[in-house]
Amino acid sequence: MPSLGLVRQIDEQLRALDERLQGYEGLVAERRRLEAARAALTGDVVKRHPRLSQDEVAAFLVEHPGSRAGDIARALDAPLVNISQHLHRGKRTRFERREDGWHLLPGGEPEAGEDA
């Protein structure tokens, strides 16, 4: 059984990294613009992740409460920064971060009819 103190330390480091990643949204967007410009000039194909909705993150958390942002990103094959954006924009209104990870707040379920 792992030490709870060690697990808490790791959780805090993960939370700190998630918060630091929030500042890179602009850089990620600029990188995508440059990749698209390069692809247009060279004819290369740019691998793009499909757009992910906050409802898809919510649907994942219905099935996997307590997941970390990185786990959600891997499971949904989405960039971590996008998952972090959705979680932080919905924090306290739709999502809640606890010691064990992210949870859906009551009433935060995905809209009916959403594909998730």
- Segments of the chain scoring below 70 in pLDDT: 1-2, 22-23, 25, 46-50, 112-116
Q: What are the tens digits of pLDDT across the range 81-111?
A: 899 999 999 998 999 999 999 999 998 888 7
CA angle 33, 38, 40 (to 5 degrees): 95
3-state helix, strand, coil in the chain (%, to 5): 60, 10, 35
- Domain segments of the chain: what residues? 4-104
Predicted pLDDT of residue 14: 79
Rg, C-alpha atoms of the chain: 16
Q: What's the whole-model pTM score?
A: 0.57
Between CA 83 and CA 22 the distance in angstroms is: 10
Q: Is 40 exposed, middle or buried (0-12, 13-18, 19+ CB in 10 A)?
A: exposed
